[in-house]
Amino acid sequence: MKKSLAIDMGATSIRAILGYIDNGQLITEEVMRFNHEIKDINGRKQWDFDAMISKIENTILKYKDEISTIGVDTWGVDFGLIDKNGLLVYNPTSYRDESCEIGFKSIKEKIDFNKLFENTGNQIMSINTLFQLETVKLTNKAYYEKAEKLLMTPDFINYLLTGKKYGERTICSTSQMFDLEKGEWNKDLVENLGLNKDLLPEIINNKIVIGSTRNSLIDSLRDLDIEVISVASHDTASAVYVTESYNDEDCLFLSSGTWSLIGCCNQKPILTDQAYNYSLTNETGYDNKNMFFKNVTGLYLIEKLRDSLVKEDKSKFSFDEITKLVEKSSISDECIIDVDYDVFTKESDNFIEDLDKYFKEKYNLAIENKKDYFKIIYQSIVANYKEVVKNIESCLGKKFTRIHVMGGGSQSKVLCQMIADKLNIKVIAGPKEATAIGNILAQLEYKNEKENIRKIVTDGFETITYLPNKNN
C-alpha cells in the first residue's frame, strides 16, 4: 500500500511519519526522529542543514518503495538565500540568533510598528523574517547582493526535493512581509523599506503538486519519482487543521511545543490597535482561513530545565515523571516567573542558575529543590495563557468555552488540568503529532479529492477531555 510521508521539522527535532488509510482508519508510523542542535557558524547560530538533509534523504531512500507523496512542514520565520545558479549562499540562521536585533532596530527607524502591523498582521517580533533579512543586508552585504531568491525553510527543503522555487502561503504569512488580506507578498512594503522585492518567490496554494523527486537537487533521489505536495508548511497551520477550532470559531487552539501558539480561527485578519497593543498576530491557515493568536514561550523552558537536571542526575524526565514531580511539589501556586523574561528566552549555559538569580532578585527567595521548578514553569506558562485568552476575548468581544490542545503539551495531564482549572475552560487534548497528521491529511486529500478524508482522519485519533476542577 502506497503511503504519504510527512517530514515534520520542529525547532528541536525532526520527525518523519508515514500515513495511509486502511479499512476506513488513519494508520501512522514514525520512521525517523532526529534531535538537532543549533551550531555556531561564522559567529551566528545556524541550523545544521547538512545533517537535516542527510536524515531526510536517507529516510526517503529507505522507504522509497512505500512512499507515493511527500509533504514538508517546519517552524516559521527562518530562511535561506539562493543565488542565480541555484546554490545556497546564506545558510538559514536560527531565530534565536541575537543578530536579529540589528535588523529590528534598523526597520524601527524606517516605519512605525503600528503601521507595520496594519500592513502585515504579524505580531512584531525581532525574530521575524523581515528583520532577519534586514540584518543580512546590513551585516552580510556580499551574500545579500548575490541572492536571487529567498526561500523559507520548508520552501528550501521542497526546492532541494523538486528543483522548484516557490513560497507556500502559510509559511510566507509568518514573515512580516505578507499581505494577509490579499494573500500575497506585500512588495510595496518591502521595496519602501529598502529591500529587494525580487527576492520573494511566487506564492502557491496548498494541496497541489510542487514537483517530483526526479528533478531533485539531491543526486540519490533523482532515480525516484515521488510527488512532493504543497501542504500547510508552517507547522502551526498544519496542526490547527486537525483541531476542533478549524471548523468552530468558538473553540480556541493551543499548539503546545517548544513554542506555545494560542488563538482561534476566523475569516479575516484582526488589524486593530487593540490587537497590536496586545502583541497578537494573524497568519494564514489551510483554505486561506485566518489564524488569530499569540506566540508565547512554551515547553522550551521545560526542555531547558530537563536538560540542566539531566546533567546532574542523568534522569530523562518523561511527561509522566514530570507530572509526578509537579503533583508532589509543595511550592505555592502563586510562585511564578515571567516566561518572556529576556534571560529565559535565550540560549544559556546554566538555566538553573538563571532561575535561581531571578528568584533571588525578584522575591528574595531560594528554591532549594530544583525539581520544584517544573511546577513553577508549568503554572507560569498557564498564567501567560490566561492573559492571552483574556486579550483575544477582549479583541473579539466574545467568550470561549473550549480549547483544543495539541502537540507535546497535550500529553501532559498536569499541564492540561492546570489549563482547565486556571482558565475555567473545557480542554480537549490530543493528538501529540497533530502537525504531522495535518501534513498527511493534506496529502491524502490531494490523492482522494472525492472522499471525506478529513472526517476519517479526525475521527481516528483519541483525545482526552479535562474539565475545570470545581474545588479549585
Of 414 and 472, the structure prediction assigns the larger pLDDT to 414
Query: Residue 422 CB: number of other CB atoms within 10 A?
Result: 17
The percentage of residues in the chain with a pLDDT greater than 70, rounded to a whole number, is: 98
Rounded Cα distance between 291 and 67, Å, is: 31
Residues with active-site annotation: 235
Instruction: Choose the final residue of a domain: 192, 214, 234.
Output: 234
What is the reported pLDDT for 343? 83
pLDDT tens track for 358-375: 999 988 999 999 999 999
Domain count, the chain: 2
Tell me whether residue 183 is exposed, middle or buried, using C-beta atoms within 10 angstroms of its C-beta: 0 to 12, 13 to 18, 19 or more: middle
pLDDT tens figures, 279-327 = 999 999 998 899 999 989 889 899 899 988 887 665 678 888 998 999 9
Give the pLDDT score at 92: 87
Q: Are residues 190 and 255 in the same domain?
A: no
| Rounded (10°) CA dihedral 51, 52, 53, 58 | 80
Q: Which three cell numbers stand for residue 298?
A: 512554551
Distance CA 18, CA 393 (A): 38
Q: How many residues are recorded in the chain? A: 472
300 and 177 in a common domain: no
Dihedral in degrees, nearest 10, Cα atoms 29, 75, 406, 424: 170
CATH number at residue 321: 3.30.420.40
Question: Considering the domain boundaries, does residue 61 fall inside one?
Answer: yes
Q: Using DSSP bridges, classify how beta strands 147-152 and 79-83 pair: parallel, antiparallel or unpaired.
A: antiparallel
- What are the cell numbers at 94? 536560527
CB-based burial, 65-90: b 16+ in 10 Å, e otherwise: eebbbbbbbbbbbbbbbbeeeeebbb
Who's near 143: CB < 8 A, 6+ residues apart?
Answer: 81, 89, 90, 136
Distances from the Cα of 310 to the Cαs of 315, 319, 330, 337, in angstroms?
5, 14, 22, 22
Residue 110 belongs to a domain: yes
- Tell me which residue range forms the domain holding 311: 243-430
Residues 133, 274, single domain; the answer is no
- Shared-domain flag, residues 264 and 143: no
